């Protein structure tokens, strides 16, 4: 499949039901195969910040935006993947680290063993010929072996802090502002990750330098002994194929507000009443993060960071909005601002 770039010199106004305060500079890529156009890709400039973004069905998107705005912030929740969604895919031209890869054990032998597991299982994760039930078992096997190596080789909380300090990991531009906006509007944020909750929380501490009372991490959580040494993992393993709202029972709060059991139960009940969802992910499988939630309206935002030509067709059909080539979070920030505003704003 080839891509031909065509420039349109006009300014494309998005309707009032969508981004009423914005005007976008539009370019369109025609995806051609055997001379037939297969889709459209817009290049958008929002307040001077340029992103390549695909909207497959703009009419449907506008209807969803109107529905969520009508419900207001009180009915909205945000569900976000962490690695390569909230964080950058590339940093200074190099592939950024994932929350699993950030952690370096003192004995390099165990780092090597975990890397070999990655090299074996990672291709299987994306192999389209493997049935889902078989692939699920393979992912459980991979995560189980990795966690066993972390326990056997030794991990300390101090080691986590040092690993994050040395890591090649950074949030996308605009993420901090997005979290601040959602906290101000009282919109809960669930960060779903098949990685390590303790690493994610430490990255937030070191890179954002603050906590958010509305943010919870749904991920694999370590259990340390009184000396700060890893002894086990809490609850059922969360891997790439089962991270969804059913995993809330396995999550722990990022802050201290819901440490008591009653508070946590009340929070889960309140989340079920927030039936409008803004979902952020970098993998088509991330769309399953809202499984278990009986939502009314969901806007899905995807980040296609690499191998755009190979995956553009499937990704643009899967997500309501698709950002390409490791875009910033500024477009999502603009969208969230609009979703939380009223018609009079």
Known catalytic residues are 81, 83
Q: DSSP code of 241?
A: T
Alpha carbon distances (Å) from 257 to 47, 176, 204, 237, 254: 37, 21, 17, 24, 9
User: CB within 8 A of 33, min separation 6: which ones?
Assistant: 1, 2
Q: CA angle 49-334-189, nearest 5°?
A: 125
From 72, 74, 78, 77, select the one nearest 340 (Cα to Cα).
72
The answer to whether residues 297 and 69 touch, using CB atoms and an 8 Å cutoff, is no
For residue 298, count other CB atoms closer than 10 A to its CB: 17
CB burial of residue 328 (10 Å; 0-12, 13-18, 19+):
middle
The answer to whether residues 168 and 94 touch, using CB atoms and an 8 Å cutoff, is yes
Q: DSSP code of 249?
A: G
Look up tokens 């809330």; give the residue. 248
User: Which H or E run includes 268?
Assistant: helix 261-272
Residue 303, token pair as written in the block: 């980040």
Q: What is the Rg, in whole angstroms, of the alpha carbon atoms belonging to the chain?
A: 21
């Amino acid at each position: 499949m080839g891509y031909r770039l065509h420039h349109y010199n006009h300014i494309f106004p998005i309707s009032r039901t969508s981004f009423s305060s914005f005007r976008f500079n539009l370019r369109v890529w025609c995806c051609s195969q055997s001379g037939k156009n297969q889709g459209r890709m817009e290049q958008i400039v929002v307040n001077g910040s340029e992103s390549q973004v695909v909207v497959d069905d703009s009419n449907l998107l506008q209807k969803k935006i109107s529905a969520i705005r009508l419900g207001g912030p009180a009915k909205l929740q945000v569900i976000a993947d962490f690695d390569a969604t909230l964080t950058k895919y590339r940093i200074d031209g190099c592939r950024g680290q994932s929350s699993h890869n950030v952690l370096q054990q003192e004995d390099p032998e165990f780092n090597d063993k975990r890397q070999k597991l990655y090299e074996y299982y990672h291709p299987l994760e994306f192999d389209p010929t493997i049935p889902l039930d078989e692939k699920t078992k393979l992912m459980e096997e991979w995560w189980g072996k990795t966690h066993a190596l972390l326990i056997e080789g030794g991990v300390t909380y101090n080691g986590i802090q040092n690993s994050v300090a040395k890591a090649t990991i950074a949030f996308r531009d605009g993420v901090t502002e997005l979290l601040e906006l959602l906290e101000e509007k009282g919109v809960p944020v669930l960060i779903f990750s098949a990685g390590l909750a303790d690493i994610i929380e430490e990255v937030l501490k070191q890179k954002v330098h603050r906590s958010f009372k509305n943010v919870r991490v749904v991920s694999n959580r370590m259990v340390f002994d009184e000396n700060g040494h890893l002894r086990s993992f809490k609850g059922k393993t969360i891997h790439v194929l089962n991270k969804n709202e059913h995993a809330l029972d396995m999550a722990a709060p990022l802050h201290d507000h819901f440490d008591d059991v009653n508070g946590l139960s009340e929070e889960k009940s309140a989340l079920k009443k927030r039936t409008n969802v803004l979902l952020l992910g970098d993998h088509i499988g991330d769309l399953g993060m809202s499984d278990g939630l009986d939502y009314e309206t969901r806007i899905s935002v995807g980040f296609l960071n690499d191998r755009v030509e190979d995956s553009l067709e499937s990704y643009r059909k899967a997500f309501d909005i698709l950002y390409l080539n490791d875009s910033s979070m500024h477009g999502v920030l603009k969208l969230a601002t609009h979703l939380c505003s009223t018609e009079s704003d």
